[in-house]
Every structure is written in structure tokens, then in C-alpha cells.
């Protein structure tokens, strides 16, 4: 497997080809400021791709980061409730659908971008537990003294479904905790949790941890990350151009390098 640095260096060539077909979407003469709210899952790929989009279109992308759900101050639903400006929302698919049902996303604008598996992390240099099977994951969880999971989609699944499926809900009450508005990997890197559960794409950028691997298929929960146009958008066409670019073949290599699987080429309606 190529190192991330090599992949991202090679990305420029692939992007150049893809951007030729994207240029028609918008032009420098119509340059706009595109305001984006994005949750953690797509962040690594997004940060690599946005400069290329800006270079090709002349648009400026302004970004705010926060969880797809929850009640922390920077959570995307809370930001929207406060009236913060947004053109594009990039977040967990079902959370975006929920916002659409509340009239905060333009009907028909949603585009599924990526699939993201849940992974397990330990502090760098710490022993890596066996997580190759359902029983192995159960043993690892029971043996761990402290466990951390996110306050977004992966954490909701781990705490409300996976623990129950393994029959260890009671055993987890005193040692597993939800981490609000902070990457789980950072908690693990600081030694505050022995095991951390979050989407692999959110674990990869964190220094000071080792990723043990993805959960086994029998326990895995794939999260879909989607994008849509905010109802209050002042630049919907520029927003659609950004979504179309993120869903295009030009974005594929960066998405794969970040630990996610692209869903399909496409664009916002």
C-alpha cells in the first residue's frame, strides 16, 4: 500500500484530469464564497480536495467543523438552530435526512458520498488486542479498563447496539464513556482510554495512536456520509458545484486514502 504522503502527492495529476470536466460547473467570473459545515468523517479527504476545487473554480470555501448530531455548541444541528450561515452540509446521511425533514436541507439535493467503517484504536506502542471475531472483540472489551466512543453515529451504534449484541451492556457501564466534540483518537493518545471506537477515517489523522483494524463484519456498522444544500444557502449553485466535485472520480483517491469508500460519481440536483 502506498504511504499517504505519496498518494496525496500523486493526487494532483488525477485531479487535473477530473477538474477539466468540473470547470463547466462554475467559473472564476462567478466566484462565490461557499460556506460548508462538515462533520469529522470526511475531513481528511475534504481538506486535500478543497484547495483544488478553489483553484479550478475561483470560489472560496469557508468551513466550520462539528458533529453530525448531539447538543454540543459546535454540532451542526445546533449551529443551524442558531442561524449560522451555510450553503453545504456534509455529515452522517441519516442525520442529514433528519435535517431535511425539518426543512433545513433543499429537497432532492442530498448526495451520498462515502461509506465509512468503524475501527478500533490503541495508544501508540500499546499491545493490540485480537478483534478478528465477535468473541475476540467481546474478550477485548471485557479485558480493557477504559473505553471511549464518539457522540456521533459510530458511538451511538457501539453504545446502544453493539454492547447489547455482545451481551456486555452492564459490564460496560462503568468503563465505557462517550466523548463529545473531540476525536476519540485524541483521548486514546492521551492515555485516557485503553480502547477507542470511531470511524477509521476519523482515527487516521490522529497522532499518537495505532489503528488495530476495522470491526469484524458481523459487528461492523457502515456509516454513510452525505452532502446537501442548506435551505438558507445564499450560494446554492456554487454549493452544488462543490458537492458534484466531491462526488466525482477526481475525488476518489483522496477518499480512499482517508479510509473511506466512495459511493459513486454524481452530483446535487
269 falls within a domain:
no
Q: Could you tell me the pLDDT band of residue 40, with boundaries at 50, 70 and 90?
A: confident
In this structure, is residue 267 part of a structural domain? no
Sign of the CA dihedral 207, 261, 151, 47?
positive
91 shares a domain with 17: yes
**219: in domain:** no
Task: Say whether both 142 and 171 belong to one domain.
Answer: yes
CA distance 21 to 16: 9
Judge if 130 and 250 occupy the same domain.
no
Q: Are residues 97 and 229 in the same domain?
A: yes
Q: How confident is the model at residue 17 (pLDDT cuts 50, 70, 90)?
A: very low
Same domain, 185 and 123: yes
pLDDT of residue 10: 53
Task: Judge if 62 and 140 occupy the same domain.
Answer: no
Domain boundary, last residue among 214, 233, 250: 214
* Residue 24 domain-assigned (yes or no): yes
Contact 174, 144 (CB under 8 A): no
Helices 4-22 and 43-57 cross at an angle (nearest 10°) of 40
What is d(CA 33, CA 183) in angstroms, rounded to the nearest whole number?
28
Q: Is the domain of 87 the same as that of 16?
A: yes
Res 14 pLDDT > 60 = no
Mean pLDDT of all residues in 205-220? 97
Task: Judge contact between 103 and 252, C-beta under 8 A.
Answer: no
Instruction: Label residue 41 by pLDDT band (50, 70, 90).
Output: confident
Strands (E) located in the chain:
33-38, 60-65, 88-92, 111-116, 118-123, 147-150, 176-179, 195-199, 209-214, 223-229, 261-262
Are 141 and 173 part of one and the same domain? yes
20 and 108 belong to one structural domain? yes
Residue 174 makes CB contacts below 8 A (sequence gap 6+) with none
Could you tell me if residue 254 is inside a domain? yes
In this prediction, residue 269 carries a pLDDT of 53
Which of the pair, 235 or 8, is modelled with greater confidence? 235
CATH number (domain holding residue 57): 3.40.190.10
Q: What Rg value do the Cα atoms of the chain yield, rounded? A: 19
Q: Is residue 268 part of a domain?
A: no
Q: Are residues 128 and 110 in the same domain?
A: no
Give the confidence band of 181 by pLDDT, cuts at 50, 70, 90. Answer: confident
Per-residue pLDDT of 50-65, as tens digits, reads 999 999 999 999 999 9
**Residue-number span of the structural domain to which 144 is assigned:** 118-214
Cα dihedral sign, 187-188-190-194: positive
136 within domain boundaries:
yes
The reported pTM is 0.82
157 assigned to some structural domain: yes
Number of domains composing the chain: 2
Amino acid at each position: 500500500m502506498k504511504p499517504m504522503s505519496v498518494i496525496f502527492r500523486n493526487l494532483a495529476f488525477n485531479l487535473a484530469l477530473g477538474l477539466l470536466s468540473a470547470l463547466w460547473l462554475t467559473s472564476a467570473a462567478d466566484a462565490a464564497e461557499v460556506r460548508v459545515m462538515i462533520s469529522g468523517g470526511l475531513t481528511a479527504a475534504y481538506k486535500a480536495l478543497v484547495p483544488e476545487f478553489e483553484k479550478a473554480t475561483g470560489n472560496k470555501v469557508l468551513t466550520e467543523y462539528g458533529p453530525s448530531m448531539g447538543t454540543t455548541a459546535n454540532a451542526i444541528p445546533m449551529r443551524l438552530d442558531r442561524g449560522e450561515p451555510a450553503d453545504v452540509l456534509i455529515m452522517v446521511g441519516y442525520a442529514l435526512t433528519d435535517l431535511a425533514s425539518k426543512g433545513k436541507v433543499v429537497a432532492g439535493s442530498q448526495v451520498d458520498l462515502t461509506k465509512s467503517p468503524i475501527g478500533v484504536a490503541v495508544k501508540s506502542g500499546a499491545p493490540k488486542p485480537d478483534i478478528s471475531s465477535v468473541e475476540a472483540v467481546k474478550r477485548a472489551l471485557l479485558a480493557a479498563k477504559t473505553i471511549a466512543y464518539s457522540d456521533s453515529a459510530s458511538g451511538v451504534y457501539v453504545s446502544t447496539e453493539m454492547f447489547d449484541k455482545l451481551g456486555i451492556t452492564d459490564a460496560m457501564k462503568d468503563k465505557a464513556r462517550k466523548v463529545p466534540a473531540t476525536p476519540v483518537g485524541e483521548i486514546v493518545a492521551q492515555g485516557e482510554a485503553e480502547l477507542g471506537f470511531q470511524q477509521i477515517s476519523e482515527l487516521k489523522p490522529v497522532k499518537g495512536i495505532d489503528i488495530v483494524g476495522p470491526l469484524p463484519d458481523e459487528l461492523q456498522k457502515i456509516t454513510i456520509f452525505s452532502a446537501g444544500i442548506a435551505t438558507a444557502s445564499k450560494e446554492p449553485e456554487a454549493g452544488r458545484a462543490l458537492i458534484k466535485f466531491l462526488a466525482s472520480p477526481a475525488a476518489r483517491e483522496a477518499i480512499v486514502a482517508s479510509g473511506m469508500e466512495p459511493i459513486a460519481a454524481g452530483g446535487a440536483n
